[in-house]
Copies of this chain bind each other. A is one copy, B any other.
Amino acid sequence: MTIRYLTAGESHGKGLTAILEGIPAGVPITEAEINKELSRRQNTFGRGERQMHIEKDAVQLLSGIRFGQTIGDPITLFVKNKDWENWGKVMSLIEEDFDDKFSQLKARPGHADLAGVIKFARRDIRDILERASARETAARTAVGTVCRKFLSLFDIEIFSWVTEIGGVRATLPRLPIQEIARLAKESPVLCPQPKAAKAMMQKIMAAKKAGDSLGGVYEVVATGLPIGLGSFQQWDLKLDGLIAQALMSIQAHKGVEVGDGFALGRMKGSKANDEIFFKEKGQFFRKTNHAGGLEGGMSNGEPLVVRAVLKPIASLRNPLRSVNIRTKEEVSAEIVRSDIAPVAAAAVVGEAVVAITLAQEFKRKFGGDSLREMKDNFERYQRYVQSY
């Protein structure tokens, strides 16, 4: 079974639901493990008040888990919207509850608002913004946590850190990946370089004061990947393409890089590629990783390194100019409680979607319906790689 998933749910509706299918039977998972990641997504510096105070997301596993482990069934993950009680009328199921005073008419630039109401022929922007909201990433984070737990049983680990916020760039310390990740986790902005982290937080405070917002860049790294996930055989099987799609599909993301990314466009071929060496013990290796662990659309055994950029959120306390979708009058965009610079939160979501994509490709390569069968398949492949 291929791993696939769908999410559903509005930002102020009853909650977010995801159905995740194809995780093999026998993977241990608890609600607490998922809640830990949901909490990481919420409690980073740069998020708005709603995130920090109201939500405190908690997942309910409604299917697919029994006695602490997956049984092969589709897994239902439900994250209740804590705020729902206050929104019952505005988000009511019932036609009778309709009241045009709830309608939001001022389109926010930089959001799905305007294109959305036109595409779906709606007269109330709320019908659009509720689903287009980055609130949806809580569901993807929950799904991603199950996938990452599954991958961790094969010693595949996924990390992330913030490298840039509002123009402040961090220099990554020359340390092992796990060390960098540890430093990042100590920082409220998930930045592993303390000095840069401090400057980033100051930038965020200043932006908040000015009623403005900031974007930034984060990096996701995956270690322990076997050689040969993804394939060059067809355009839609290439792992770099699949990861780019997953990251770019996160709300407000506007760029994705693999390895040295855009910097490679300025390098010479003799410097930009990773020469191949061989260790006594029976393993190919590289001394550099410009390619970010991906060659020919496949994992090459080096750590996967990808980066993504988050644009500054368009919901501002000093709102942008816009138009009323009914009267067509010029207005100030709707003011919505919002984040200032959710780059660290985006990094957590980035980890999740990378985990999902890797789990999908891992399942595709190793097949199997139970953890036991997959481990058998995986371990023998790894021994074969050692002896190639």
Contacts and interface: CB of A to CB of B under 8 A. Distances in A.
Given A66-B126, A216-B265, A249-B297, 12 more contacts: A8-B64, A61-B93, A110-B272, A110-B295, A112-B298, A115-B299, A119-B369, A267-B312, A277-B323, A367-B368, A376-B380, A377-B380
Interface stretch (A36-44, A46-54, A240-248): A240-248
Interface string A206-223: 010000111111000000
Given A275-B320, A309-B262, A114 B284 contact: yes
Given A2-B2, A276-B107, A240 B269 contact: no
A303 interface: no
A260 B249 contact: no
B369 A368 contact: no
Contact of A17 (B76, B227, B246): B76
Size class of the contact patch on chain A: 35 or more
A26 to B, nearest CB: 7
Contact of A14 (B63, B258, B273): B63
Contact of A276 (B233, B295, B322, B385): B322
B314 A116 contact: no
Contacts of A330: 277-278
Nearest to A365: B367
